[in-house]
Structure 1
Amino acid sequence: MTASAHRPGAGEPHDERLPPPAPVLGAQTWREIVHLLSNMPVGVAGFAYVTVFISAGAALSFTLVGLPLLAITLVGVRPLGRFERARARKLLRVHVEEPSPLRARERGFLPWLWTRLRDSVAWRHVLYFFVRLPWDWLTFGLVLPALFVAWPVLPWLTRGLTNVDRAFVRALLSPSDELERRIAELESDRGSVVDTAAADLRRIERDLHDGAQARLVALAMDLGLAKEKLLEDPQAAAAMVGEAHGEVKLALQELRDLARGIHPAILTDRGLGPALSSLAARCTADVTVTVDLDTRPAQAIEGITYFTVSELLQNISKHSAAHTARIDLWRTEDRLLLHVTDDGHGGANTTTGTGLAGLTERLTAVDGLLAINSPTGGPTTITAELPWRGRDEDQGRGSDSTAPRKRGRRQRLRSG
């Protein structure tokens, strides 16, 4: 089984379930005591570092060394934050993802300096060590005497104090660069879309060059020869014109097939239901198509859905040896779900060919996913999920935008 699914945000913290406090000190209570007692020396060291160097950098900011000193200070505060996250992970069972490495977009000292000065993660670490110092002294002053005079309530005291520490860690030491990570994902997806579009253009160019263009060139030559023979040998010229007429029909068919591969007219005119039924009619298996949509999705989503079904039905015809298949398409909230099953011999995956791998990349580029369950021996179940984006009624239905929306109809079509 090969599956793709949404992952939680890369910077989303997650914690282990903690045992409840108990009168008898447990292992977790002792870890929390160690954390609270170590807050004071760690907090003093961090506060001293950021206070001295940030103050010096700010005071010298009008000189040549001020801003570089600030940048170097921000570089150094990141390891301090990493140490605090490790301490919280070990003693408080708070798991916070590490921030992404900071990289300048361009080479050179000035881009490096500007990138470091704009490091929001490092500035939040500076704020963490600034605001923590009074709390660190307070926790140390409460826990150390409680070890001797308030032993019975110590588990509940440490749990309450460390919950504040956990809030500090989550708020100020968790990654704040989800936007940058999302931008990186979108840039990667954009690269996949560009590569797919380039491959499609190369395929169209190759099909035109090797197919219709070659036939049209041969047709022009045949018509030229027929024109020369028209007066000398009318019968031979008529035969050549007849052959040219056949070449014209073949060229038109190839152009029609090529246009259908770019964007089928039936999809534009009638929507996904009839378009998917047309695809099912060309499949070697007996395919049942069920479409349950109130409105038509955006053209891009509609096109990706169509070509996803086209690729999956081609795989069924070529590789699965299936007798029956089923296509279900429906909308749930803000997602468009496609479910394709067949009774073939299974074994479909994204590693043995480029078809399913290309589908995965194409769906990922629009925040979709492809999940494949195809054990050896079958059956095969493939689920595609795409984001739902609607279209205006004027554009999608060609009707007045003020007209009431028609009730969605469930289409069940069967083709052999």
Structure 2
Amino acid sequence: MTEPLDTPEDHPVLPPPRLGYDSATWKEIAYLLSSFPLSIFGFVYAVTMVALGAGLTVTVIGLPLIAAGLSGARLLGKAERGRARALLGVRIEEPSPLPVRRGGGFFGWLWTGLKDPVGWRTVLYEVIRLPWAVLTFTLTLVGLFVLWPVLPFIARGLGNADRAMVRALLSPSDELERRIEELESDRGVVVDTAAADLRRIERDLHDGAQARLVNLAMGLGLAKEKLLEGQADDAVAAMVDEAHGEVKLALQELRDLARGIHPAVLTDRGLDAALSSVASRCTVPVKVTAELPGRPAEAIEGIAYFTVSELLQNVSKHSGARSASVDVWRSQDRLLIQVWDDGRGGASLDKGTGMSGLAERLDAVDGLFVVDSPDGGPTMITAELPWRDRTTEPIRRGPGTAAH
């Protein structure tokens, strides 16, 4: 007699008791017997890591030791989920990995490691499982030699308790985390809508006011030529010439405004070309390297572009650098950006260079912003955004409009 494996959707439903020594019963017995030696190792690891790290917090190695220990606890949790999956039939998805940073700085790694909920839940699991493992090992061992007829009932009851413990402490999705996921999805919709509105404003400027100003400039240019050909009053010609110049300046300002709202090169050619365009306007030589397998969602792409744009403006205005670089790449489900310069350093989130606003903007979309800028330089700023795949629906344009 066999039974289907339970799934995360029916967590509250536990397999019923059964008679007979089938393969599922032997797997439960193997799980219960193997839990004791493994729980000793897990308990010693968890208690030693926490106690040693807490005792050394008065030194510089205490907190890093705890952060590294929590990373190790993640590996223990992964092993336990695999064992429960193989022997108890408990199918639990793996939690999301910690955000990957390249050059994000020591304190960024430390803070991310210390607040890792998956690592802390695994530590709690290893601590409370040891006394339970001693009890289950003893009962199972006695059942093998004394209570043989009822051992399947014992194994099933103890196995169900272990199933509940694994789900409660090693599962990545409880009600709160599901709610957080829903809120993040809703926030992504809001961000996408805002990005679409910005692109609509850019198109309206390009195809409306900007087009009318082009026609006005052409008309004034023709009027200027006719006035000059008719040998009109020099003052009139000067006024027309001045108006022509003002219109050209207004046109340039509108182009700059449209570029600031959402640059056409970003829409048409993607992040690599857009960042190269920004780098060409920087007063410091900038090397741009973009290694992307495709294009992320439009909202994420826009935030990445404006983040780099503002950081390069800071490089031009405040760094005193002689060279800079921009690196963009994808790591798993994250888009990472690194902006480096060899300037004087000393940049921070509280010195009025706009970096606090960038950090808030990235935080609103579940991103990260890490500044590593010691006095004397160099400065390394790492920004991290969630990678969401780009939609394939084309941008709709109204009648009579043209693409950039």
Task: Give the TM-score normalised by the residue count of structure 1.
Answer: 0.47
Which protein is bigger by CA-based radius of gyration?
A: 1
1 or 2 for the larger relative contact order (CA 8 Å, sep ≥6)? 1
Task: Give the TM-score normalised by the residue count of structure 2.
Answer: 0.48
